[in-house]
């Protein structure tokens, strides 16, 4: 699900910390990592003694609540049971802006799937639309690129009740990605995309405190070029943790991505006509 860089458990974070370890309510869809075993997932339930996490594959694990037992954006936190209910007349909203389903129990996964290009795309979709995906029983998987997309679609064997949605980076006229997508034709497959070279750029620059995403000259790997231009002293994995950690809700993303993901979720979760 994620591109792991430096081991966040390495080093001396278990030694006495400077300052107090923050306490964070275990709200539904909060994505955290078990500090001991590294299991990463979204909160689906929490009581006074334990919290249940579910990863993007639908696997669930229960963990006891305790001091610094979890990592949030790579930093130790103490999870606590959320207090109170949403104010009357103001239903809770998920990160995507949809009405959150209280006491959600994830629907059994459909045969239909959504494919995205890489782990960063999958992590961003999970962070914003994770609640919606569990409501609909939709699993998101990543492809590690779209060069073999026609073969991947054929292997999936789409059909009625087994739809496939694909999110493609840089899907603009004349691009390599557009030529590959044009090779796939099926009423049970929907291929959509955003115009950005990489999903990083689908995050609004203002969220990161920068005026714009830098232009990277041809011939220079885009991620590395961005890091150098912004003066970030990190590798792509560290840069991505910084970017993903700054994203809170759908308002932090560009509309060109928002509309496409919503379209894919609607497509793969649509019920068949009687």
Residue 16 has a pLDDT of 47
CA 101 centroid distance within chain: 19
Q: How far apart are CA 60 and CA 270, in angstroms?
A: 26
How much is the CA Rg of the chain, to the nearest whole Å? 20
Q: Is the pLDDT of residue 4 over 60?
A: no
**Of residues 234 and 99, more confidently modeled:** 234
Q: Mean pLDDT lowest for which of 21-30, 105-114, 252-261?
A: 105-114
Q: Is the pLDDT of residue 15 over 60?
A: no
Task: With H, G, I as helix, E, B as strand and everything else as coil, classify residue 35.
Answer: coil
Q: What pLDDT, on a 0 to 100 scale, did the predictor assign at position 8?
A: 42
pLDDT digits (tens, 9 = 90+) for 40-89: 888 877 877 788 887 766 677 888 888 888 998 888 999 998 876 554 45
pLDDT band at 145 (very low <50, low <70, confident <90, very high): confident
Give yes or no for residue 206 having a pLDDT over 60.
yes
Between CA 26 and CA 239 the distance in angstroms is 26
**Residue among 186, 182, 163, 164 at smallest CA distance from 172:** 182
Quote the pTM value. 0.65
Residues 6+ apart with CB under 8 A from 269: 110, 112, 136, 137, 138
What is the per-residue pLDDT for 233?
Answer: 92
Mean of the per-residue pLDDT values of the chain: 84
**Has residue 6 got a pLDDT over 60?**
no
The pLDDT value recorded for residue 102 is 66
Residue 17: per-residue pLDDT? 47
- Looking at residue 81, what is its pLDDT? 87
Residue 114: closest CA among 273, 270, 272 = 270
Q: Are 5 and 235 a contacting pair, CB within 8 Å?
A: yes
Q: How many CA atoms lie within 13 A of 237 on its CB side?
A: 9
User: Which domains are present in the chain?
Assistant: 1-84 (no CATH), 113-203+247-269 (3.40.50)
Q: Which of 209, 246, 244, 247 is nearest to 230 (CA)?
A: 209
Length of the chain: 274
Residue 271: predicted pLDDT: 67
Among 92-101, 106-115, 185-194, 239-248, the minimum mean pLDDT is found in 92-101
């Amino acid at each position: 699900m994620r591109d792991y860089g430096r081991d966040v458990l390495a080093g001396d974070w278990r030694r006495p910390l400077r300052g107090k370890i923050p306490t964070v309510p275990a709200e539904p869809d909060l994505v955290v990592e078990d500090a001991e075993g590294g299991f990463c997932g979204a909160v689906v339930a929490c009581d006074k003694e334990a919290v249940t996490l579910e990863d993007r594959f639908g696997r669930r694990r229960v963990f006891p609540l305790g001091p610094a037992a979890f990592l949030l954006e790579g930093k130790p936190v103490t999870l606590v049971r959320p207090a109170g209910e949403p104010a009357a007349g103001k239903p809770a909203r998920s990160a995507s802006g949809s009405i959150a389903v209280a006491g959600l129990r994830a629907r059994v996964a459909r045969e239909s799937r959504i494919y995205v290009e890489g782990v960063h795309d999958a992590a961003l979709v999970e962070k914003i639309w994770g609640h919606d995906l569990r409501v609909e029983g939709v699993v998101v998987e990543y492809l590690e690129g779209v060069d073999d997309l026609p073969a991947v679609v054929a292997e999936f064997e789409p059909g009625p009740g087994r739809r496939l949605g694909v999110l493609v980076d840089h899907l603009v006229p004349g691009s390599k990605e557009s030529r590959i997508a044009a090779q796939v034709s099926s009423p049970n497959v929907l291929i959509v995309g955003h115009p950005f070279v990489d999903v990083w750029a689908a995050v609004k620059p203002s969220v990161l405190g920068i005026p714009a995403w830098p232009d990277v000259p041809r011939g220079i790997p885009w991620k590395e070029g961005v890091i150098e231009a912004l003066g970030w002293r990190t590798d792509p994995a560290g840069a991505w943790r910084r970017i993903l950690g700054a994203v809170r809700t759908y308002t932090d993303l560009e509309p060109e991505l928002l509309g496409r993901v919503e379209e894919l979720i609607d497509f793969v979760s649509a019920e068949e006509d009687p």
